[in-house]
Structure formats: structure tokens, C-alpha cells
Amino acid sequence: MVDDIEATVKDVILKEFLPGEDPSELTDTTPLITGGVLDSIATLKLVMFIEERYGVTLQAHEVDPEHLDTIAQIAQLIRSKKT
């Protein structure tokens, strides 16, 4: 289950925002927001996906590099919301 979140988030990022990209290039620590992969539109799309997929609610102030910059941070946020 723990690994599922990372893998699922990675899958959706690759599919939605990085089609054709080598999956090995995207790691758990790749900077997504500060790196320019997730712009505001992509970030909101990802937030909608997370909320729908995991049944959690994110707050506006959590949509920032502090919480969503890497797959690891995203997974950590989801887990903290689910517990």
C-alpha cells in the first residue's frame, strides 16, 4: 500500500504531464513544481486527482513546493491526510 501511492502518483504524472518520457527519469525526489513540470494548471489537475483517488481534501495553502514538490512529499501528504 505504501509503495502504491508513489507508483500511482508517478503513473499519473507520466501519463498526464510527461507523455513519452522515460519513466526512470522521474524519481521520487525529482522537483516537480520548482522544476517546472507542474505549473499551476497541472498542479490543480493533480490535486483533483489526489482528492478523487484517495478521498482526501487538500487546503489551498498546501498547494506549494513545501508539500507537493516531489512524489515523496505528495505521498507523505496523502498519508498524513489518510491517517
Binding residues vs another protein (CB under 8 A): 16-18, 21-22, 25-26, 30-31, 34-37, 39-41, 44, 48, 59-61, 63-66
* Comparison of 35 and 55: residue with beta carbon closer to another protein: 35
Give least dist CB 68 to another protein, A.
11
**The Cα angle at residue 83 between residues 12 and 34, in degrees rounded to 5:** 40
By C-alpha distance, which of 21, 19, 17 is closest to 33? 17
Give least dist CB 10 to another protein, A.
12
